[in-house]
Amino acid sequence: MTGNLSNKMALGKSIKMYLTIFVATTCIYMVLYQYHMSRQPLATNEVVKQPEKSSSSSSSSSSSSSSSSSSYIASFLWAPMPNSFYNSTQNTTMGLGQGHGGGATNVTYSSTATSSGPVNASGSSYFFYSTVSLPLILSSASDANNNKSISTTTTTTAAATAGLATTSTTTTTTKTTSSTTTASTQKLKTTRISKPSHAQNSMGKSTGVTLKIRSKFVAVSDPPPLYIITPTYRRPEQLAELTRLGYTLKHVLNLLWLVIEDANRTNPLVAHTLDRIGVPYEYLVAPMPEQYKLTKRAKPRGVSNRNRGLDYLRANATEGVLYFADDDNTYDINIFEQMRYTKKVAMWPVGLVTKTGVSSPIIRAGKLDGYYDGWIGGRKYPVDMAGFAVSVKFLHERPKAKMPFKPGYEEDGFLRSLAPLQNNEIELLADECRDILTWHTQTKKNPAALPFNLTRYGNTNLAFIEKLLVRP
Ligand code: UGA
Ligand code: MN
């Protein structure tokens, strides 16, 4: 009996002991766990998520989910790029071909297109916002008729009194975009809505690639149109320079930007950058002649580009003003409003030129009395490229005017080729040359990017970025 009792007591004791050990272990474990957790970074579901950047749509083949502008280049690069994308002929025009001079390349596209015309207030405002072009196929100009078979809705809105018309065909998967731009003289009211739609290629297959046909620039008479001729060439800084200049030009109304690359073929990334900026443009090519490329001496940079721009104007422009704007310089938008009314030739100072720090006409007693520049070099017009503008009508009156392939004498040669031109016919802008509104800035040269490790980063965002970089 007692043995039985003591057995029971022993059992009770050991149960108690086990329970105590269990509770104690649990407590210790919990304390340790708490300590461990306190050392950990926030769990992923506790991290406040950034608003989604929609890059996912780029890889899906048929979805037309919204994609923000930041993903355009990425989606563009994901899309297989047919060789026919490149057009190796000189004078290639990227984008809308019809009515834009010879050698135009037409974008073949398909799908429902939505568009809205420009909002034009009192004949002086226009809108141009270009969503991204992701052309599937670029056909030659002779294929233009084939475009008719493609189901497209195009709306053309002619700006009533001003005669500014923008034909716009949009095929896009993008969201509503609106933009407001102001120019120094007028307000530009601009709103553009693109309805989402499924992009399809001409075979009727859904591709998920967004397409946009750029608006056609039609110059209006008032205020006079500006034609900005910008030579450019491939280098690590190119897209950055064009972006900076493009957004300066975006503040200026009734302007056509002639971007002319020193190359045999257009570069889709440049076209893409121009599309994204949304300034009316033509993208042409004009390679430097081989003989100058090979020389060890100074090269005539941007000359074939500028002459190509002059050819374009002779064929496509009747009035307004032309200006050579190198892609790396700095421009105050006030100069554009001032040069707009040039009758023959206008000039003004350019900062950061030579050791004098500025290149400028000298005005004495209200009259042009020579030039101030660190290097005169026997030039009749020792001025910088950024320091003069020419009327388109005047250019037409001088059918032989062009720029010589003569390093250092490009400006002088071109201005001389406009003869006869009296000094008193040269208009002096920028507060009668007492102010500086343009600068000959020079971007630091950047080395080519290091090679990309495909094995290591092939499946990451770097594979997209990599394609934007310039390698030797
Ligand atoms: C200066 C002047 O500002 C230019 O107008 C002039 O053409 C040039 O000198 C020259 O005399 O050769 P700079 O800053 O020295 O310009 O030259 P860059 O800015 O390198 O080139 C001028 C323009 O030509 C730029 O818009 C550039 O993109 C373009 N370029 C340059 C080419 O198209 N191809 C090239 O190989 C180099
Ligand atoms: Mn320069």
Whether 315 shows a pLDDT value over 50: the answer reads yes
Note the Cα 169 to chain centre separation in Å: 19
Question: Cα dist. 215→172, 180, 202, 275, 295 in Å?
Answer: 14, 17, 21, 10, 40
Decide whether any atom of ligand 1 lies within 6 Å of the 301 Cβ.
yes
Q: Does 411 participate in catalysis according to the annotation?
A: yes
Decide whether any atom of ligand 1 lies within 6 Å of the 258 Cβ.
no
Q: Predicted confidence band at 111 (pLDDT cuts at 50, 70, 90)?
A: very low
Ligand 1, atom 5, lies closest to the CA of 385
Question: Cα dist. 77→14, 74, 465, 468 in Å?
Answer: 72, 5, 9, 9
Q: What is the pLDDT of residues 226-277, one digit of tens each?
A: 999 999 999 999 999 999 999 999 999 999 999 999 999 999 999 999 999 9
Ligand 1, atom 6, lies closest to the CA of 301
Please tell me whether residue 86 adopts helix, strand or coil conformation: coil
Which atom from ligand 1 is nearest to the alpha carbon of 303? 7
Give the number of other CB atoms < 10 A from CB of residue 208.
23
Output the pLDDT for position 158. Answer: 32
Q: Please indicate whether residue 369 or residue 117 has the higher confidence score (pLDDT).
A: 369
Domains in the chain, please, with CATH?
226-439 (3.90.550.10)
Distance 418 CA to ligand 2 centre (A): 24
Please tell me whether residue 62 adopts helix, strand or coil conformation: coil
Decide whether any atom of ligand 1 lies within 6 Å of the 401 Cβ.
no
Whether 196 shows a pLDDT value over 90: the answer reads no
Whether 416 shows a pLDDT value over 70: the answer reads yes
Q: Predicted confidence band at 20 (pLDDT cuts at 50, 70, 90)?
A: confident
Contact at 8 Å (CB) between 356 and 440?
A: no
Task: Give the sign of the dihedral formed by CA 70, CA 191, CA 247, CA 312.
Answer: positive
- Mean pLDDT of all residues in 440-458: 95
Distance 385 CA to ligand 1 centre (A): 9
Q: Please indicate whether residue 169 or residue 396 has the higher confidence score (pLDDT).
A: 396
Contact at 8 Å (CB) between 124 and 222?
A: yes
Which atom from ligand 1 is nearest to the alpha carbon of 305? 33
Distance 32 CA to ligand 1 centre (A): 68
Q: Which segments within 112-154 are labelled E, that is strand?
A: 137-139
Crossing angle for the helix pair 268-277 and 238-249, nearest 10 degrees?
A: 30
Q: What percent of the chain has pLDDT over 90?
A: 54
Is 328 known to sit in a ligand binding site?
yes
Decide whether any atom of ligand 1 lies within 6 Å of the 373 Cβ.
no
Whether 386 shows a pLDDT value over 80: the answer reads yes
Decide whether any atom of ligand 1 lies within 6 Å of the 275 Cβ.
no
Marked catalytic residue, from 282, 411, 427, 466: 411
